[in-house]
Amino acid sequence: MRLETDFQDLRPPRRSAPSDYAPGYTDSPCPPYYRLPPTTTAVPPPTKSAMFTPLPPTSHLSLAHRIVLAPLTRNRATEPNLCPHHLHVQYYASRATAGGLLITEATCISPEAVGYPSVPGIWTTEQADSWRKVTDAVHAKGGKIFCQLWHVGRISQPSFGTHPFLKRSGQPLPSVSASNVQMVHPKTGKPLYTTTYQGREECAVPRALLLEEMPRLVEDYNHAARHCLAAGFDGVEVHAAHGYLIDQFINDGTNQRTDKYGGSLENRVRLLNEIVGSLCRIMGKGRVSVRLSPTTLVNGRQNQMYYATRCSDPDLVYPHAVRSLNQYPLAYLLLTEPRWSGRDDGNPGTDQEFSKPLSNSKYRAMYQGTLMAGGGFTPATAKAALDAGVYDMIAFGRWYISNPDLVERLRHGHALNVYERETFYTSTFEGGGAEGYTDYPLLGEPLGRYRTMEQVDIGRSRKSGGGGGGGQTRSKL
């Protein structure tokens, strides 16, 4: 399988930014939390599938169905305080269902963790109070919501330290990693570029975290978890995937340490286990979860590289990591199926990823708890994976972005709104807001500029040629 070679920019094209930070939304009137769908005609009978059955009694998580909102970066937090606001309330509440699970967008645990413009945090009281409005709205509809805890590690750049809110925090600032390994093109070895508040920048060499800093790092996660409890979240998800900080410790291409956090398989998953164990003590049974993105070697090459994160032994280290998580009473383990490629994404009618086979189903035999997957699922392939018992839950990303009422559309076989990738990451800093965020129509509402697609047509008109396997932007679900 080919590696992705389009590494010129790790971010989507940037819109022109205002000269100063765009205003926040704290003074904006709050619209209704959600809209009731209009009356429709000729509703097909519900789809019979494990998708619409509760999780088994052995699970630490009680849910009425198996469809989950995947964690999706949307860059709509207020500036400069990086808080959720009334659009977040509307966004999450409109996707909440009775007995359903939502996972928030990746949420930064500390100033040091921030690596994209206008992403929300959970380290201040103001941020926690703002998230409380979101959780209250979700709970009012009978739903559950977990907060994904995020530290991007070397993906961030030192210039983020000049952001006024981060700069005045008095806390450690970017960029850090397991080792001082720069992000470079996997073939040319040239530095990659990313987009920050300052514009397009060459990725810097990160600072390697010192051994004596590790307890502080774990405490940063603990601090964020305590704020999640105060904000009313039902649980937290540790983002240990996609080439971000914890994954940088797991992979030996980014972890060249010689202390107890580097070298052996056990040492490379040590940070993951320290964080998860500590959070379980704070949150309690069934209120902590983990996301991993296992890769595998195909003809000596990784089948996916997230942010150019190399690993020489993925078929050893990821099974070790997964098995190590059996010691904790986790709500679930979410695995990314590595099928996304920037070459195909954008047109769901021709996107080849939807026809690629599963590659991480082997972890079903290794993990003893509730197992979730996300990455390139269609309604049909999600149903098949659930009915076969390969996975217990399926996380939808892009289709949940464009369909607030996705659960009911899947239940009854209705056509889906087609997502608009161009507005996925239009940040507050760049003037982004409701467009592409909270303006997708419910079933029966006018489509406006959007269009629909029948579920059976997803990926049907396939292009000829092979698909790449090295995508590295954030929405892969």
Question: Looking at the annotation, which residues are catalytic?
Answer: 244
- 337 and 384 Cβ atoms separated by less than 8 Å: no
pLDDT of residue 414: 97
pLDDT of residue 3: 29
pLDDT of residue 342: 60
pLDDT of residue 20: 32
What is the number of alpha carbons within 13 Å of residue 208 lying toward its C-beta?
A: 15
Residue 403 tokens read as 């369909």
Indicate left, alpha or beta for 286 from its phi (over 0: left) and psi (-120 to 50: alpha).
left
**DSSP 8-state code for residue 355:** G
pLDDT of residue 247: 98
- Domain annotation for the chain: domains and CATH numbers: 50-457 (3.20.20.70)
Query: For residues 257 and 243, what is the distance between their CA atoms, to the nearest angstrom?
Result: 17
Residue with tokens 């149903």: 383
Query: For residues 140 and 127, what is the distance between their CA atoms, to the nearest angstrom?
Result: 20
**DSSP 8-state code for residue 156:** S
**DSSP 8-state code for residue 40:** -
pLDDT of residue 356: 79
pLDDT of residue 44: 46
pLDDT in tens, 55-69: 988 899 999 999 999
Total-model pTM: 0.88
Residue 116 tokens read as 């994209």
Positions of the chain with pLDDT under 50? 1-46, 463-476
Residue 250 CB burial class (10 angstroms; 0-12, 13-18, ≥19): buried
